[in-house]
Structure 1
Amino acid sequence: MQELISGVRSFNRFYTRVIGVLGAGMHETPYSLTEARVLFELYQRGEMESAEVRRALGLDAGYLSRMLADFESRGLVTRERSAADARRQVVRLTADGHATCKTLDDSSAAAVRDLLAPLTEEDRRRMLAAMTTVREVLEPAPRGVPYVIRPPRPGDLGWIVHRHGALYAEEHGWDHTMEGLIARIVADYTDGHDPRREACWIAEVDGRPAGSILCVRGPDPRTAQLRLLLVEPSARGMGIGSRLVEECLTFARTTGHTRIVLMTVSALDSARRIYQRAGFQLDEEHRDVPAYGTHVDEQWWSRAL
């Protein structure tokens, strides 16, 4: 953890210097970076209550009040009491304010353009991808983000093995034998795949895999087995797990199966709740089974189709 903390702090210091360089492009105007942010927020929104500006940018109320008074004296903004609530203050840009924002915006774009100019196209793509990753990790995805359920593409089966191994190690401390088990399940599915009776689905969010599930042959011709349900942490809460299970149940039902089974372990609470909501019932449980470098309570669940 200490190494991670040091790495994040080092990056912060580096990026602060970069932001300073970009901010220098605004020094041809009399506005600081913070003042430019306030003006740009107003530029984007048209008008805002002063309290909204303060919350959006995390500014001290007194500091913002003095800044807006200065803007007003320069003819950049107007301030007036809200018609709905006299305790609130509405701030709007003037024509001069809009012109100033356009100048600041052009200056900022030029600074970024100069920063990117020496880079190759590949380095630009890598930098944008890295910035996007940082933002996605630190900023929870909005729950309204759409997702797609689709058949697997080349590389997706390898992704299933990798993400199961990595996530179970991170979240439950399971060792490499878990990844080996997943690899064998995927290999068996690939080698003996019968598309009339077996299928795999990938959940995709923003063009990237975010979940998986398999429907494979069970212990007898009339029984299917649900396997390898997984949802990425960044995509949880969107209903993807339940949607994948429903896809599996529908496929098993329409391909002539009359029953479906699955095996899980008691530690996987979220998955168990999804199975219960989908109508699965616990058939048997084996406690303290040595597996994955630890001991687990192995459970078998099933339901009629």
Structure 2
Amino acid sequence: MAKEVVEKIREFNRFYTSVIGVTNNHILESNYSLTEVRVMHEASNNPGITARQLKALLQMDEGYLSRLIAKLVKQKILLKKQSREDKRIFSLELSEKGKQMYTEFNKRSNDSVAALIQHLGNNDQIELVKLLNSVKTLLTKNK
């Protein structure tokens, strides 16, 4: 692989993380990291997801994920429910407080992206989505 390609991809990553504001370890001017909000997202969209499923989905270190889940449970954002069939397994879902927080994060994130692309015309927005889909397709090709 060409060194220049790697450098350009890394340059884009630095640009985009700066644009979306995740370089300060917090997202959407909150006290939560991108990873914490991503866990909330997965719990919202996959009620009953297990820590093992989250670990595989997010490709995270088990210890880090365990500490993150414990923090969100302690803050009453996540609910941890023990399986009736296997007492070693716990499912995760958002509490009412967590649902409210996630709804707000989701709205603010949508508003942020809308502001990011508001200067683009409809055709440019459509082109941007096509390009993003192309990147996604290329990065998952032959995996």
Smaller-chain TM-score bracket: 0.7 to 0.9
Shift of 1:121: 2.2
Q: Find the residue that maps to 2:91 and give its secondary structure.
A: strand
Q: Larger strand proportion, structure 1 or 2? A: 1
The 1:94/1:21 distance shift into structure 2, 3 A limit, reads closer
Aligned to 1:20: 21
CA contact (8 A) 1:25 1:107 kept: no
- Residues 1:69 and 2:75 aligned together: no
CA contact (8 A) 2:50 2:90 kept: yes
The 1:60/1:2 distance shift into structure 2, 3 A limit, reads closer
* Aligned equivalents of 1:36, 1:25: Cα separation in 2: 8
CA contact (8 A) 1:71 1:77 kept: yes
Amino acid in structure 1 at the alignment position of 2:128: M
CA contact (8 A) 2:27 2:33 kept: no
Aligned to 1:192: none
Aligned to 2:133: 132
Moved over 4 A (4+): 21-25
How does the TM-score come out when normalised to structure 1? 0.42
How does the TM-score come out when normalised to structure 2? 0.85
* Aligned equivalents of 1:14, 1:44: Cα separation in 2: 28
The 1:48/1:138 distance shift into structure 2, 3 A limit, reads same
Aligned to 1:116: 117
Amino acid in structure 1 at the alignment position of 2:93: R
Aligned to 2:36: 35
* Aligned equivalents of 1:7, 1:30: Cα separation in 2: 31
* Aligned equivalents of 2:62, 2:28: Cα separation in 1: 24
RMSD, aligned CA: 2.3
CA deviation map 1:93-140 (0-9, x unaligned): 111111111011001101001101122223222211111111111113
* Aligned equivalents of 1:4, 1:55: Cα separation in 2: 28
* Aligned equivalents of 2:72, 2:7: Cα separation in 1: 40
CA contact (8 A) 1:26 1:107 kept: yes
CA contact (8 A) 1:47 1:92 kept: yes
Aligned to 2:55: 54
Q: Larger helix proportion, structure 1 or 2? A: 2
Q: How many residues align?
A: 141
